[in-house]
Amino acid sequence: MDVNVSADETAFRDEVRAFFDDKLSPDMREASSLTSGVFAEMSIGRRWHQALYEQGWIAPSWPEEHGGTAWSPMQKYIYDSEAGASGAPRLFSMGLRMVGPVIMKFGTDEQKNFYLPRICSGEDTWCQGYSEPGSGSDLASLQTRAIVDGDHYVVNGTKIWTTGAQYADRMFCLVRTSTEGKKQEGISFILIDMDTPGITIEPIITMAGDHEVNQVFFDDVRVPIANRVGAENDGWTVAKYLLEFERGGAAYATTLAAALEKLHAIAEAERASGGRLIDQPAFAAKLAALEVKQRAAQATEHRIMSDIAQRGRPGPASSMMKLVGSETNQAISELAVEATQYYAAAYQPEARVPGNNIEPIGPASSVPVMPKYLNYRAATIYAGSSEVQRNIISKLVLGL
Ligand SMILES: Cc1cc2nc3c(=O)[nH]c(=O)nc-3n(C[C@H](O)[C@H](O)[C@H](O)COP(=O)(O)OP(=O)(O)OC[C@H]3O[C@@H](n4cnc5c(N)ncnc54)[C@H](O)[C@@H]3O)c2cc1C
């Protein structure tokens, strides 16, 4: 892939930048910088979703017929990069980035016509029902049962770590429809309306103090068989396809660059040994090492973009980006804690509420540092742990 930017692409970048400058209101930017979670606060995220939808830019990687843009891979990359750099709120993307592409590939025409426009417009928010207690990395061992009763499945079991279940209208869910044969062969992929009787959602509060994840219980939940995507017992094929999109296709490198820029600003303002922290050789060396990793991530991302351009999907290389992106993000958040020192330890959740008028303890930039550090601990677990990504890379990328 040619990563030199042409005059047309520069004009496109300027157009995207101007849009972000115009539409990203100060409260959206503030909410974005204060959030420690993966996704923006829901009401802010919904407003940003609406702004992008009205502009026709909500689903750049979707085909035009389903509401996508007709952008080239380079334009999509420029757009993602600008979004990362602008501090735009991160949208709840389980519809747009996960189940949407799956419905396009495996769904019936009825499913496409019903679900895809609702994902684009923001009418439906989705959550992902894959993991269970005891079935995370070993996903194929999942136990949630779906038994046929007339033209419905009756679902019993539980899902855990379900991000955003408390907001979601629908869940895409892996269920066991057979106990015969290999465990991968008895799984189906179904779409569940979260209003269906028999569903209970219990919050799980993370150590960063956020309510992002939940445990969801199913007690005789009736789901129309027509809500199955793909063939019965062939959900593993569908599930694996989705995981590629979960792990790849995002512009990690610019997000890392934006985090490094913030860290740079903190280190310029902080004092150490009578001078600026940024001028301390030991600290500067750590910062430089992270900047090198960010550059390496950028180069890898360009290679993955090239794969997407040629094959239309991220492929196993998406695991490389997930691994490098999440581990570097963690390292940046760790160095930010080191840079802000004891101010990072101040517990001030009220100062993280957008629009608050609380006087921060220490510099305002230190307020989200510790919650971000704590929240990023999960980044090397969700969407497949680092160990699992390394297994995939060694097998499918390196051919070991
Ligand atoms: C914040 C957060 C949000 C999440 N959101 C969602 C969501 O929305 N929907 C959803 O379905 N799930 C979600 N998850 C679940 C996530 O996908 C799982 O936590 C993850 O797959 C790991 O599974 P586990 O927790 O069962 O850990 P385990 O699989 O039990 O892993 C425990 C440890 O063993 C290691 N390990 C396991 N297998 C291997 C192996 N084969 N080789 C080497 N090491 C191995 C792991 O790397 C890890 O260190 C979320 C998790 C978190 C933390």
Region of poorest pLDDT, from 16-20, 85-89, 119-123:
85-89
Q: Is the pLDDT of residue 2 over 60?
A: no
- At 250, the pLDDT band (50, 70, 90 cuts) reads low
User: Whole-angstrom Cα distance, residue 260 to residue 145?
Assistant: 45
DSSP-based three-state secondary structure for 288? helix
Residue-wise pLDDT tens digits, 144-178: 999 999 999 999 999 999 999 999 999 999 999 99
pLDDT digits (tens, 9 = 90+) for 314-355: 677 778 888 999 999 999 999 999 999 999 999 888 898 888
Q: What is the pTM of this model?
A: 0.92
Query: What residue's CA is closest to ligand 1, atom 48?
Result: 385
pLDDT, mean of residues 217-240: 97
Domain check: are 252 and 389 in the same one? Answer: yes
The four Cα atoms 319, 320, 324, 325 give a dihedral, to 10 degrees, of -50
Ligand 1 neighbourhood includes 341 CB (under 6 angstroms): no
Is 268 in the same domain as 325? Answer: yes
The CATH number of whichever domain residue 225 belongs to comes to 2.40.110.10
What DSSP assignment string belongs to 348-393? -GGGGSTT--PPPSS-GGGTTHHHHHHHHGGGGTTTS-HHHHHHHI
Q: Is 17 in the same domain as 59?
A: yes
Catalytic hit among 82, 132, 244, 246: 246
Is the CB of 365 within 6 Å of ligand 1?
no
pLDDT on residue 86: 86
- Which tokens go with 274? 């009578």
For residues 371 and 34, give the distance between their C-alpha atoms in angstroms, rounded to a whole number.
Answer: 9
Confidence of residue 204 (pLDDT cuts 50, 70, 90): very high
What is the domain count for the chain? 3
**343 and 299 share one domain:** yes
Work out the mean pLDDT of the chain and round it to a whole number: 91
Cα–Cα distance for residue pair 93/81, rounded to 1 Å:
16
Domain coverage including residue 371: 248-397
Mean pLDDT across the stretch 125-148? 96
Helix, strand, coil shares of the chain, percent, nearest 5, are 55, 15, 30
CATH number for the domain including 309?
1.20.140.10
- pLDDT given for residue 110 in this prediction: 98
Residue 350 φ/ψ, nearest 5 degrees: -65, -25
Q: Which atom of ligand 1 is nearest to the CA of 386?
A: 47
Q: Are 270 and 300 in the same domain?
A: yes
Atom 16 of ligand 1, nearest CA residue: 382
User: Does 341 fall in a domain?
Assistant: yes
What's residue 197's pLDDT? Answer: 98
Tell me whether residue 45 is in a domain: yes
> How far, CA to CA in Å, does 180 sit from each of 86, 186, 233, 370?
51, 7, 10, 48
161 CB less than 6 Å from ligand 1? yes
With contact defined as beta carbons under 8 Å apart, do 52 and 28 qualify? no
Q: Which residues, in sequence order, are CB contacts of 351 under 8 Å at separation 6+? A: 358, 360, 361, 367
Encode pLDDT of 267-301 as tens digits: 999 888 889 999 999 999 999 999 999 999 888 88
Q: How far is the CA of 177 from the centre of ligand 1 (A)?
A: 23
CA 59, CA 91: separation in Å to the nearest integer? Answer: 11
Burial call 373-396: b when 16+ CB within 10 Å, e when fewer: bbbbebbbebbbbbebbeebbeee
With respect to residue 80, please indicate whether it lies within any of the assigned structural domains.
Answer: yes
User: Does the annotation mark 185 as catalytic?
Assistant: no
pLDDT-derived band at 379 (thresholds 50, 70, 90) equals: very high
Q: Which H helix or E strand runs over 151?
A: none
Residues 31 and 261: their CA atoms lie apart, in Å, by 18
Tell me the sheet residues that pair with 223: 153
d(CA 331, CA 290): 8
Q: What percentage of residues in the chain have a pLDDT greater than 90?
A: 68
**Distance (Å, rounded) from C-alpha 27 to C-alpha 16?**
20
CA distance 353 to 36: 11
Boundary of a domain, candidates 74, 91, 108: 91
Same domain flag for 216 and 255: no
